[in-house]
Every structure is written in C-alpha cells, then in structure tokens.
Amino acid sequence: MNREIYNIVRAKITTDDLQAFETQAQKMKAAAKEESGTLIYDFFINRDTKDVLIIEKYQDDEAFMAHMTRFVTEEYIPKLLTMQEIVSIEMPGLVTKEIEDFFTAGGWKYKDFRVNIS
C-alpha cells in the first residue's frame, strides 16, 4: 500500500509586505529540505490576487508528523499565519488518527482524500 501523503494548503496573503511573506516562505522551504521524509515542499504565489498554494508531499504519515511537529514552532507556521489566512486544506493519502487529532487540536479543518485509484 502506498503510504505517501500530500498536504495542499490554499491561502490568502493578508500582509501588504509581499517581500516579508516570500522571505518566510523561502525560510520554510530551506528548512523542509533538511527533512529526509519531506519529498516536496513548495509555495506558489499569485502576486496579483495574493493567492497562495502550498504543495507538500511526504513519504508517509510519520514523516508528515515529524515535519508538522517541527513547523508548529514560532519561527515557521505561527509566523506565516500572521501574514496569511488559510482558505482550505486538502490531504490526499492515508490520514491517520494521529494526524486527525493533530489537526483537531490545532483548529485546522481539512478535507481528506483517502482513496487512491491505481
């Protein structure tokens, strides 16, 4: 069974300082590259509409949780959330009870897509 998990975050930039947002995104991308289980971690920004897509892919749920545990520290996600508002979170892949509990505790709603058509 494929254990890869994706996380697709749609957000709206709320700061007028796009450079600060992009600097934070670059910092987070660089930190994610240090994680062996993080396969993809990219930001796509539409500067005109201030829309953002954050595309993430992890080798499995353990890698996802290791990433999230690291990124909920003040220097990563909380700082990003001062500059953006989450519109939606979509999670293709096996969303485990641990991930469900983590998102519930954080107050983050998401849609899961657990069935992969092969």
Task: Encode pLDDT of 27-45 as tens digits.
Answer: 999 999 999 999 999 999 9
Provide the pLDDT for residue 89.
Answer: 96
Q: What is the pTM of this model?
A: 0.92
Alpha-carbon span 118 to 116, nearest angstrom: 6
Provide the pLDDT for residue 7.
Answer: 97
C-alpha atoms less than 13 angstroms from C-alpha of 44 in its C-beta half-sphere: 8
Q: What is the pLDDT of residues 55-85, one digit of tens each?
A: 999 999 999 999 999 999 999 999 999 999 9
**The two structure tokens encoding residue 70:** 């690291």
- Band the pLDDT of 94: cuts 50, 70, 90: confident
**The two structure tokens encoding residue 12:** 């709206």
**Domain at 5-113, CATH class:** alpha beta
Domain positions in the chain = 5-113
Packed helices 97-106 and 61-71: angle between N→C axes, nearest 10 degrees:
20
Provide the pLDDT for residue 48.
Answer: 96
DSSP-derived 3-state class of residue 28: helix
Provide the pLDDT for residue 115.
Answer: 76
